[in-house]
């Protein structure tokens, strides 16, 4: 799998690292299968491109997470 793609199984974590209140895996899966989010199938598995994360977040109405404060 190319480095610029994210497996669907990891998408909720990737979104949670950058945005608030990401949807659950099942909700993302349904939106991908329905064609509501950009994704492709590679060897039978759904993947998304890293460069599409902002578009996915915008489509889902997610807000950017506040940067973590380090002590």
Q: Where in the chain are the domains?
A: 5-60
67 band by pLDDT with thresholds 50, 70 and 90: confident
List of residues 6+ apart from 7 with CB closer than 8 A:
1, 45, 46, 47
pLDDT digit string (tens) for 7-47? Answer: 999 999 999 999 999 999 999 999 999 999 999 998 999 99
What pLDDT score does 3 carry? 76
Confidence of residue 2 (pLDDT cuts 50, 70, 90): low
* Residue 53 in this model has a pLDDT that exceeds 90: yes
**Total-model pTM:** 0.83
Helix (H), strand (E), coil (C) string for the chain: CCCCEEEHHHHHHHHHHHECCCCCHHHHHHHHHCCCCCCEEECCEEEEEHHHHHHHHHHHCCCECCCCCCC
């Amino acid at each position: 799998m190319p480095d610029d793609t994210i497996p669907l199984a990891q998408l909720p974590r990737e979104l949670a690292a950058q945005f608030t209140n990401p949807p659950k895996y099942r909700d993302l899966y349904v939106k991908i299968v329905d064609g509501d989010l950009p994704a492709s199938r590679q060897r039978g598995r759904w993947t998304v491109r890293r460069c599409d994360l902002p578009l996915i977040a915008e489509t889902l109405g997610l807000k950017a997470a506040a940067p973590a404060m380090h002590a």
